[in-house]
Structure 1
Amino acid sequence: MGKTTGFMDYEREEAKERNPHTRVNDWKEYDAPFSDDVLRRQGARCMDCGTPFCQIGEEINGATTGCPIYNLIPEWNDLAYRGQWEEALKRLLKTNNFPEFTGRVCPAPCEGSCTLAISDPSVAIKSIERAIIDKGFANGWMTPRIPKRRTGKSVAVIGSGPAGLASADQLNQAGHTVTVYERADRAGGLLMYGIPNMKLEKDVVQRRIRLLGQEGVDFVLNTEAGKDITAEQLNNQHDAVILCTGAQKQRDLVIDGRDANGVHFAMDYLTASTKNVLSVDLAEDEFIDAKGKDVIVIGGGDTGADCIATALRHKCNSVVQFGKHPKLPMARTVRNEWPEYPNLFTIEYAHKEATAQFGEDPRNYSIQTKRFISDENGDLKELHTIEMEKVIDSEGKYVFHEIPGTEKVWPAQLVFIAIGFEGPEPEVLEQVGVKTANRKVKAKYGEFTTNVEKVFAAGDARRGQSLIVWAINEGREVARKVDHYLMGSTVLPSYLEL
């Protein structure tokens, strides 16, 4: 695929980013698309692999390897190289309902397992994917696909994140009447309110929601299942129900002083900030302003990085990020060999911005927070930490030990806890009556059926906190099972049959 000698002729090029000094003054996406010439060169680098590991979609040692939605990557890389963009779009849409989302916010496990990445930088798969779908919208190729027939069957989808949207899209195209219930004032789930605008502009999300609506999907907003509409009502009004509520119960840090004013969950901060950007009316105490404050983010992942970038745009006085683990290596280790996802040191957009603003990388590694300290008014004024050592115990497992003498006091008026999610929020699950296991809905992958008749579950609610590509995978697969349940057979494709 691509040019036969392209991987030798051309080097990988990264997407052009706007100047970090200036982009913190707005909420627009921080990077810019490739030119057509660059895209063709990057597509040309795709090798004629015997086995395209970029497509394998497996989990190795607990991490995703390759593309879980099995994108036909070599095919559309070749078409991009040849400038056949509309054909590339057709190939892309065969497996991916929402390339405009994955092309912006997916961590691209496909690139980690690219065969070229054994010895050289991988093919710029994610950037090419984004370019293909953006050209599709820009050139008017993305038009409403109106189903030719309706089956008379009705399906309720609870939650409008990527799993819910993917299942709704597939079932609507199969001819069913689909209603998506969303408790927020806008559809999109974490795509709308969990990912800040500079990574995924909300016009991009709303554009897709409009298209789905034009195709026949009905969105009912400001409606929480189990509260505004009961499980009995859902059961009476629909022939099947799909739980795609996500894993939005945030993991807490239970230590002394947790109740101090100024300690918040990361997602509460990001949600309120995005609502403010979108000019949504907020309660007086809902918006969390980092202006002029010393900010500490606890958690070393993407959500923590998004908090950094958001605090910078709020003009914080300083920002620091704590990570539990040591700094990642610059090259793969024997415990992390290709084609596994590469656990390597990287500099994300937020870290570049903080470095430009304050002169140093905001990340601190192997840090454990011990306690929060408040002033006489209950407002956070500082937190105490200790450094940790990560070692392998006698059973070969990693454990952490505190290092005496490394205690430190950090000034802080705002802290954001970004240490992951425990699973779905339990209220709607209890209302519907589905069984859970390990804080997730009990439903076997490939079947997606729960213990409740005609109730299915998919996405993070079923598998736990995961990637957007797994959410799309599960949304498509559960749609196939629901279609078969309703009709006795199915017209929808399955990743499991690839």
Structure 2
Amino acid sequence: MGKVTGFLEYERLEEGYAPVAKRVKDYKEFVIGLNEAEAKVQGARCMDCGIPFCNNGCPVNNIIPDFNDLVYRGDWHNAFRTLDSTNNFPEFTGRICPAPCEAACTLNFNDDAVGIKSIEHAIIDRAWQEGWVKPRPAKVKTGKKVAVVGSGPAGMAAAQQLARAGHDVTVFEKNDRIGGLLRYGIPDFKMEKSHIDRRVEQMRAEGVVFREGVMVGHLPEGSKVTNWAKEIISPEALKEQFDAVVLTGGAEQPRDLPVPGRDLEGIHFAMEFLPQQNKVNAGDKVKNQLRAEGKHVIVIGGGDTGSDCVGTSNRHGAASVTQFELLPMPPEQENKPLVWPYWPIKLRTSSSHEEGCEREFAIATKEFIGGEGKDKGKVKSLKAVRVEWQGNKMVEVPGSEQILKADLVLLAMGFVSPVVSILDAFGVDKDARGNAKAGTEFIGGYQTNVPKVFAAGDMRRGQSLVVWAIREGRQAARAVDEFLMGASDLPR
């Protein structure tokens, strides 16, 4: 694969970034992708390693050595065809996937991994520029109708695959635009929403019907339709109108922090904060938008969602941004012989961190403290304490309590489950974590206990990566196709 001695001759080349001072002034993407010559060199680094662990490291099983080799040889069209055969939306993963394939790269065992993600990014961007990404409507229609509930990456992948198999697919989305977490959870500076829009247009040309502003489920007695949903459809109506239903909503139930002072004004979940800015970027007017300018912001949670809050706060013009992580600071370099080819625990510094952020590890929040006078009822600081981990038990460090300024606190500690009400409305059994209970068996996979109702993505597996959602959407589509037709030619 690639150049036989390429990995000995060439070093890994990272994608570039626009300067911090420039990029924090707007919400546009700022990654500078590889040009053709740079991508060719990176493709040349792919080893003829015999067993490409990268394929299994990638949840959608991208055929990575093949498209690396094709890029090295200048055959970009076939590189795109290879990538497109396993991944419906490489422009999403090429921008926001953490690249578990690179952790599994054989070269990564004792050197820097091949820049697989940057090559994927280059391939799909060129494919769009060259006009290679075209609708592929089914030549023969089956007459079967499928409802997909949720339009995130799992729902979009399932819908596209099912439409290409010849089924009539309708996607129901409770929000006003298609995309789920991609639309309202991922900041525009990481992925501009035009990438979603052009995929939606492709899928419409393939026969997929999108219905925005439609909530599936039951409203509590006496309540009215929410501000963001124009219509309510019951599970009973869906099951009556469609031959199969696929539940692909996200893990939307955030983890809370029930400490004293939690009810103070100025403490919000990350998914209250991030979607508002995305709506403003899209041209909407958001009344009383949560803003960070001039404020001392503390983000509680050290993952990607917390990092997104950091980047957005920096663009708002926050006075300071601090990010808390309960766990100890991980090592800067993983022990590769111990963890390869699996995803390693190591210190990861995002582009948002580089824009300005204090990172605090092994720290816990004990109390939110309100102000006085005109600031009464508003959070103005918090009490934190250092912690140590003794075995699996967290212990406070005596005498380590401190008070930090906090005008805005953003809770980004992950998500515990999908919204329970939709699963209850369908009567779907839940697992111990509150997710839809459905297996992934080759035959009969992704089926819930409710006849003709399937579940995939975060709704089935819990909070996860976009690339896992795409995988589950594709596999669920094959399971639905088998259920409807007795057999399926869709790839799994």
Question: After TM superposition, is the score higher than 0.5?
Answer: yes
Per the TM alignment, residue 281 of structure 1 is displaced from its structure 2 partner at its CA by 3.0
Once the two structures are superposed, residues 329-372 of structure 1 have per-residue CA deviations (whole angstroms, 9 ceiling, x without a partner) of 12223895211112121221001101xxxxxx521110000010
**What is the match of residue 396 of structure 2?**
402
Structure 2 letter corresponding to 1:329: P
**What is the match of residue 460 of structure 1?**
458
Per the TM alignment, residue 15 of structure 1 is displaced from its structure 2 partner at its CA by 0.3
Separation (CA, whole Å) in 2 of partners of 1:6 and 1:335: 23
Per the TM alignment, residue 280 of structure 1 is displaced from its structure 2 partner at its CA by 1.6
Separation (CA, whole Å) in 2 of partners of 1:268 and 1:81: 44
Separation (CA, whole Å) in 1 of partners of 2:279 and 2:296: 23
Superposition map of 1:96-495 within 5 A: 96-227=87-218, 228-282=232-286, 284-285=287-288, 287-333=289-335, 336-354=338-356, 361-376=357-372, 377-392=376-391, 398-438=392-432, 439-446=434-441, 447-494=445-492
- Checking the alignment, whether the CA contact within 8 Å between 1:441 and 1:450 is kept in structure 2 is yes
Structure 2 letter corresponding to 1:436: K
Q: How many residues align?
A: 472
> What is the DSSP-based 3-state SS (H/G/I as helix, E as strand, rest coil) of the residue aligned with 2:170?
strand
Structure 2 letter corresponding to 1:375: G
Structure 2 letter corresponding to 1:365: F
- Checking the alignment, whether the CA contact within 8 Å between 1:235 and 1:241 is kept in structure 2 is yes
Separation (CA, whole Å) in 2 of partners of 1:334 and 1:103: 24
> What is the DSSP-based 3-state SS (H/G/I as helix, E as strand, rest coil) of the residue aligned with 1:295?
strand
> What is the DSSP-based 3-state SS (H/G/I as helix, E as strand, rest coil) of the residue aligned with 1:384?
strand
- Checking the alignment, whether the CA contact within 8 Å between 1:181 and 1:219 is kept in structure 2 is yes
- Checking the alignment, whether the CA contact within 8 Å between 1:336 and 1:343 is kept in structure 2 is no
Separation (CA, whole Å) in 1 of partners of 2:419 and 2:49: 44
Per the TM alignment, residue 324 of structure 1 is displaced from its structure 2 partner at its CA by 0.7
> What is the DSSP-based 3-state SS (H/G/I as helix, E as strand, rest coil) of the residue aligned with 1:213?
helix
Q: Percentage identity across aligned positions?
A: 49
Per the TM alignment, residue 39 of structure 1 is displaced from its structure 2 partner at its CA by 0.5
Structure 1 letter corresponding to 2:290: I
Per the TM alignment, residue 267 of structure 1 is displaced from its structure 2 partner at its CA by 1.3
Separation (CA, whole Å) in 2 of partners of 1:343 and 1:420: 17
Per the TM alignment, residue 375 of structure 1 is displaced from its structure 2 partner at its CA by 2.0
- Checking the alignment, whether the CA contact within 8 Å between 1:336 and 1:342 is kept in structure 2 is no
- Checking the alignment, whether the CA contact within 8 Å between 2:110 and 2:336 is kept in structure 1 is no
Separation (CA, whole Å) in 1 of partners of 2:414 and 2:352: 18
Greater displacement, 221-230 / 176-185 = 221-230
- Checking the alignment, whether the CA contact within 8 Å between 1:294 and 1:411 is kept in structure 2 is yes
Once the two structures are superposed, residues 6-50 of structure 1 have per-residue CA deviations (whole angstroms, 9 ceiling, x without a partner) of 001100011010001210001111211111111000010000011
Separation (CA, whole Å) in 2 of partners of 1:93 and 1:428: 33
> What is the DSSP-based 3-state SS (H/G/I as helix, E as strand, rest coil) of the residue aligned with 1:332?
coil
Per the TM alignment, residue 146 of structure 1 is displaced from its structure 2 partner at its CA by 1.6
Separation (CA, whole Å) in 2 of partners of 1:127 and 1:209: 24
Structure 1 letter corresponding to 2:367: R
Separation (CA, whole Å) in 2 of partners of 1:336 and 1:410: 38
Greater displacement, 9-18 / 344-353 = 344-353
> What is the DSSP-based 3-state SS (H/G/I as helix, E as strand, rest coil) of the residue aligned with 1:437?
coil
Superposition map of 1:63-82 within 5 A: 66-82=57-73
**What is the match of residue 53 of structure 1?**
53
Per the TM alignment, residue 477 of structure 1 is displaced from its structure 2 partner at its CA by 0.8
Per the TM alignment, residue 149 of structure 1 is displaced from its structure 2 partner at its CA by 1.2
- Checking the alignment, whether the CA contact within 8 Å between 2:295 and 2:319 is kept in structure 1 is yes
Structure 1 letter corresponding to 2:363: I
Once the two structures are superposed, residues 146-202 of structure 1 have per-residue CA deviations (whole angstroms, 9 ceiling, x without a partner) of 211111100000001111111101100000000000001111110111000010011
Change over 3 Å in CA distance of 1:467–1:411 after alignment to 2: same
Separation (CA, whole Å) in 2 of partners of 1:464 and 1:416: 21
> What is the DSSP-based 3-state SS (H/G/I as helix, E as strand, rest coil) of the residue aligned with 1:372?
strand
Structure 1 letter corresponding to 2:422: V
Per the TM alignment, residue 233 of structure 1 is displaced from its structure 2 partner at its CA by 1.1
> What is the DSSP-based 3-state SS (H/G/I as helix, E as strand, rest coil) of the residue aligned with 1:209?
helix
Greater displacement, 167-176 / 205-214 = 205-214
Per the TM alignment, residue 2 of structure 1 is displaced from its structure 2 partner at its CA by 0.5
Per the TM alignment, residue 399 of structure 1 is displaced from its structure 2 partner at its CA by 2.3
> What is the DSSP-based 3-state SS (H/G/I as helix, E as strand, rest coil) of the residue aligned with 1:224?
strand
Structure 1 unaligned segments of length 5 or more: list them: 57-65, 355-360, 393-397
Normalised to the residue count of structure 2, the TM-score between the two structures is: 0.94
Per the TM alignment, residue 107 of structure 1 is displaced from its structure 2 partner at its CA by 0.7
Separation (CA, whole Å) in 1 of partners of 2:457 and 2:358: 33
Separation (CA, whole Å) in 2 of partners of 1:19 and 1:457: 42
Per the TM alignment, residue 137 of structure 1 is displaced from its structure 2 partner at its CA by 0.5
**What is the match of residue 28 of structure 1?**
28
Separation (CA, whole Å) in 1 of partners of 2:195 and 2:461: 26
- Checking the alignment, whether the CA contact within 8 Å between 2:109 and 2:336 is kept in structure 1 is no
Once the two structures are superposed, residues 61-112 of structure 1 have per-residue CA deviations (whole angstroms, 9 ceiling, x without a partner) of xxxxx11111000000000111111000000011111100010111100000
Separation (CA, whole Å) in 2 of partners of 1:379 and 1:335: 50
Separation (CA, whole Å) in 2 of partners of 1:299 and 1:464: 17
- Checking the alignment, whether the CA contact within 8 Å between 2:109 and 2:337 is kept in structure 1 is no
Moved over 6 A (4+): none
Separation (CA, whole Å) in 2 of partners of 1:87 and 1:207: 22
Greater displacement, 416-425 / 373-382 = 373-382
**What is the match of residue 395 of structure 1?**
none
Change over 3 Å in CA distance of 1:106–1:373 after alignment to 2: same
Separation (CA, whole Å) in 2 of partners of 1:39 and 1:53: 21
Per the TM alignment, residue 215 of structure 1 is displaced from its structure 2 partner at its CA by 1.2
